[in-house]
Every structure is written in structure tokens, then in C-alpha cells.
Amino acid sequence: MTVFISGGAKNGKSTLAQNIAVSLGEKRYYVATMISTGAEDDERIRRHIADRDGMGFITVECFKNIMDCLQTADKDSVFLVDSVTALIQNTLFPAEKNYEIDIDAANRCADELVEFAKTVRHVVFVSDYIYSDAERYSESTEAYRKCLADIDRRLAAVCDTVIEVSAGQPIIHKSRHSERAAGESKNPLSFWEDGSHGALALARDDRVKGKCE
């Protein structure tokens, strides 16, 4: 099962992604993507680590080329990649080159993310939705938005499930059975269907009918 999640900041994307990852399998990796640039980032990383505490994730650090993870991690397990945004940012504006824009590197990073989605058994990608505001951005910011949007679209096209999170509520844009996970009876989204998520399961059924592939 491959899952792509996006949405606004602090809307519950990571929490949802963690819950899905936990439901997908026992052996799970958290792919840590963020390069800390100071105290604020350290605090965010600390909060994310605390959130995952006890959920059984093995942390693998990967700041740029996602396929490198597989040198140490087992591809037949669950991967939580949080976030695609950080990977694109790290490659598009490389710290070691004084943050000078490198679109080719970002495109290679995007290619690897698609390859990763096609290689591993289960993966949950988290991205950020930054495309709907009334602002004239600088050229480099527009390049960043376009690079991230391009990879979002490519991942949304290859992933089995695509979810937008708004105020903690999932909107299902795509949901299909994974070919790779065929034969596994477990429904990875089943935790939605318990009492606390009954309404979400209903919303999903309404929207997805006729769209399942």
C-alpha cells in the first residue's frame, strides 16, 4: 500500500500518516528528512520524536536521496516519509552550495521518490499544500512551489491512496487496492472505521464510489 498525504500546516497530516503506517505492518521505519537549522527546528524535531514514542518506528536519516535508505532498511516493510517537502527543499537549495538553486538535483530527488514508491512494500508520504494564496512570489519561491507540486502530482499518480487533510479531517481523493499488497486481507485504513472515525468512513464511501480502480 502506497499512500500520499498533503494539506495545510498543522492540520494533522503527520498524526494521520503515523496511524496509517502503524496499521500497515509491524516493521516500520521513520525516514527523518529535516536538516535542523536552529533551535526552532530542534524543537519541532523533538516534538515529532515525542509523538512517535512507543509507536515502534526505527528512525533512518535521509536528507536527499531516498533510495539510499534501502542500503540499511528492509524494502519489505513500512516507511513513513515525513516530509517530501523537506527532501525537495534540501536538494533544491543545497546548504553545501550556499543554498543556490539546483533544479536538476530536485528533479533527481523526485525521480528517486517515484522509484521508492514503486520499490518498497508500504510507504506513507507526507507533503505540504502551498498553492492557494494571493501572493506574487519571487522566482526562486515559485521554482520551489513548482518543483514540489510536480513531485506531488507524480506521487499522487503512482500511489494507491491520496488523502488531503483539512483541520484533521481526511478528504480521500483516490483509493484503490494495492497490487503489491494483494492477498493481504487487512484493510490499512480500517482504523478509520472504529467508533471515533465512523463519520470519516462514511465520507470516504460517498466520495470514492466509482473512483476505485
Partner 1 sequence: MVLIIGGAYQGKLDFAKETFGITDADVHTCGAGEIDFAKRCIYMIEEFTYGHPDPIGYFKAHREQWQDSILILQDIFCGVVPMGAENRAWRQNTGRLAQYLSKEAIRVSRIFCGLEQRLK
Residues that bind partner 1 (CB under 8 A): 4, 6, 129, 131-136, 145-146, 149-150, 152-153, 155-157, 162, 164, 171, 173-174, 207
Q: Distance (Å, rounded) from C-alpha 97 to C-alpha 147?
A: 19
Q: Distance (Å, rounded) from C-alpha 53 to C-alpha 131?
A: 32
**Cβ 130 to partner 1 shortest distance, Å:** 8
Q: Would you list the DSSP string of 6-57?
A: EESTTSSHHHHHHHHHHHH-SSEEEEE-PPP-SHHHHHHHHHHHHHHTTS-E
**Count of H helices and E strands in the chain?**
6, 7
4, 161 in Cβ contact below 8 A?
Answer: yes
- Nearer to partner 1 by Cβ, of 82 and 152: the residue is 152
Closest Cα partner for 87 from 127, 132, 122?
A: 127
**Cβ 123 to partner 1 shortest distance, Å:** 16
**Cβ 144 to partner 1 shortest distance, Å:** 11
**Cβ 36 to partner 1 shortest distance, Å:** 26
- Nearer to partner 1 by Cβ, of 32 and 88: the residue is 88
- Nearer to partner 1 by Cβ, of 10 and 96: the residue is 10
**Cβ 112 to partner 1 shortest distance, Å:** 19
* Whether residue 127 has a cis bond before it, omega within 30° of 0: no
- Nearer to partner 1 by Cβ, of 129 and 192: the residue is 129
